[in-house]
Chains A and B, each alone.
Chain A
Amino acid sequence: SYELTQPPSVSVSPGQTARITCSADALPKQFAYWYQQRPGQAPVLVIYKDSERPSGIPERFSGSSSGTTVTLTISGVQAEDEADYYCQSADSSGTYVVFGGGTKLTVL
């Protein structure tokens, strides 16, 4: 089955830059989307179409794509950014939805 691979955890100090990657073979052909999930809450979309930011999402959240890897970058990390982050895309045929395994961002 098709998989999106994320690191299980990333740790940064406040004010630093966090980068969370998501890798899969079909990512050069399929857009990626990113969600933030705080404990006990539903996921919230923070990036769509690789690098677009929805209204209401702080500018410190950005996305990029290079080959088979997409990256969520959080600049000037704040304590409130501590959460789980999931990437989402489609399989190579563009038919089925797939989520990455999630990355726990810890703000030290």
Chain B
Amino acid sequence: QLQLQESGPGLVKPSETLSLTCTVSRGSISSSSYYWGWIRQPPGKGLEWIGSIYYSGSTYYNPSLKSRVTISVDTSKNQFSLNLSSVTAADTAVYYCARQDNWFDPWGQGTLVTVSS
């Protein structure tokens, strides 16, 4: 069964760039049927879609975050990554990666990223 695992620093300073990687196992990120997405959830709040990428590198982003987001893919490592620049405390959240076929399934377990000096 396909599994996804997020990894990256749990603490990022304000104005710096948040960088996370999602490693896909028990399946190929190069499947032609799926996109791969990032979603976040601030503590005690709801889900927010950040953006998604196809294995070819085609991306689309949430318009509200587009100016600060870059998502990339490394098919040789079966990974995709998120960069979010110029972070503030409002970017503190649990960040999830997930396989996307219009809907998201399965999801990674999530990783908490705190923005603080």
Q: Which residues in A have some Cβ–Cβ distance to B below 8 Å?
A: 1, 31, 33, 35, 42-45, 48-49, 54, 86, 88, 90, 95-102
Contact = CB atoms under 8 A, between A and B. Distances in A.
B96 interface: yes
B109 A100 contact: no
Interface centre among A35, A43, A48, A97 (most CB of B within 10 A): A97
Contacts, number: 53
A43 B49 CA distance: 13
20 contacts: A1-B63, A33-B102, A42-B110, A43-B96, A43-B104, A43-B107, A45-B105, A45-B106, A48-B103, A48-B105, A88-B103, A88-B104, A90-B102, A96-B60, A97-B37, A97-B49, A97-B62, A99-B39, A99-B49, A101-B46
Interface residues of B, number: 21
